Structure 1
């Protein structure tokens, strides 16, 4: 059981992955702080987690796209968390993004700009304190651009690169930065999609992997929730560009 005085903050509390991750931490004895734009949905998740675990669960409003409010959000928390986890994600519509700059910008900002700015703010606060763990949920879609979702993939690639650079910057101070790549996950966002069972995780599986990674039980800094994805993406990444251009991926 984890020390009851440890606190985690989860950004993106209305998502299936967010709920599962918060539940995993609550079951491990952590105090749980949840942040979300849709407070009504997030409150249902908070109440459910508290009822299931008896943990202290607090909820705070946050719009990741309001960059000028991020610092105030962090300052107004009751405590600086020991761990901050960002599971924010918005797949968007690739076809719409190709012709609608505002939609494309929303996908970019939701998956990259907002999460990166907020994790950067907490990184500075953790440095001042001398301890802390940052966990960012990115995507295998960011490992190589594909015609079917390159706007979302580009945003996630940016977030992956940001987390890598942040990890490099913070390593001498002993602070941890973990990048989690779930692959396919059976959630509301993927409802209706035909998902390959071997490559598809359940939300609870992702939550458990995030907790294990943040606690150092999975030694890597970059975690593929299902290890098979590491091999799959290595193969995709090795395909020569002239051949890759001809593939429908």
Structure 2
């Protein structure tokens, strides 16, 4: 899908993985407005084709929709190859927003649900990252932005399966950041609090819910500055500092 006009070209391509999410859509639009070409990747191809067309019309940037299934690991080699072909001689950047949140009690009662949580929130990124790494290092630059979660900062009674997957993701990103730094590739870990998305719709106990559009703008700004980690909104850093400071003997008594 090709947009009209090629104005303000930054020489960048952003592949947005998990592009059917509200944050993914918003980030794609912001990056395109800033002058980047866009690849949208998600399982629902028809849905993201419509988003790609909308971005092309509104920004004039070159866009393409590609099918990507988080747990179809054997297909990820071909997907990454298609992404690099689209990028051609431009600089590739990555925004990863794929994720799923399921009921904690269901996940404990049914291993297939727990497995899905871990595979979508953690292993799917590892699968893509390890395949993207050679090209990212060879191009000597680029930005990687990944949506983690404040839930990964400490295991809580109500969502520790999901939180453990995000904690694993955070640890992977920390090590990968160090590994790619000599090649000029920045890796940004984003730890959002509660966002107004389909994934959190109907979840109990939500408060201080933020907009996907605000999160997308904050992610792009932080990526352009080469930041390592941000909380969004920023006050979540203080909240999680307090939560992490509670002694375990007391924390395990809390119904959170």
TM category (shorter chain) comes to over 0.9
Q: Per the alignment, do residues 189 and 102 of structure 1 end up closer, same or farther by CA in structure 2, a change over 3 Å counting?
A: same
What pairs up with 1:160-171 in 2 under 5 angstroms? 160-171=170-181
- Following superposition, the deviation at residue 87 of structure 1 comes to 0.4
Unmatched segments (≥5 aa) in structure 2: 1-6
Cα pair 1:13 1:34 within 8 Å, conserved: yes
- Aligned CA RMSD, in angstroms, stands at 1.6
4+ runs deviating over 6 angstroms: none
Whether 1:61 and 2:67 are equivalent positions in the alignment is: yes
CA-to-partner distance for each residue in 1:182-218, whole Å, 9 max, x for gaps? Answer: 2110112222345323xx22010111011111111xx
TM (normalized to structure 2)? 0.91
Q: Which residue of 1 aligns with 2:216?
A: 207
Q: Which residue of 2 aligns with 1:21?
A: 27
Counterpart CA distance in 2 for 1:95 and 1:40 is 33
Bigger drift between 124-133 and 101-110 goes to 124-133
Residue 52 of structure 1, aligned match among 47, 54, 58: 58
Counterpart CA distance in 2 for 1:124 and 1:159 is 20
TM (normalized to structure 1)? 0.93
- Following superposition, the deviation at residue 4 of structure 1 comes to 3.5
Q: Per the alignment, do residues 7 and 44 of structure 1 end up closer, same or farther by CA in structure 2, a change over 3 Å counting?
A: same
Residue 107 of structure 1, aligned match among 96, 99, 117: 117
Residue 244 of structure 1, aligned match among 248, 251, 255: 251
Cα pair 1:21 1:211 within 8 Å, conserved: yes
Cα pair 2:93 2:142 within 8 Å, conserved: yes
Cα pair 1:67 1:114 within 8 Å, conserved: yes
Cα pair 1:142 1:157 within 8 Å, conserved: yes
The number of residue pairs the alignment matches comes to 245
Cα pair 2:102 2:113 within 8 Å, conserved: yes
SS at match of 1:170: helix
Counterpart CA distance in 1 for 2:237 and 2:227 is 12
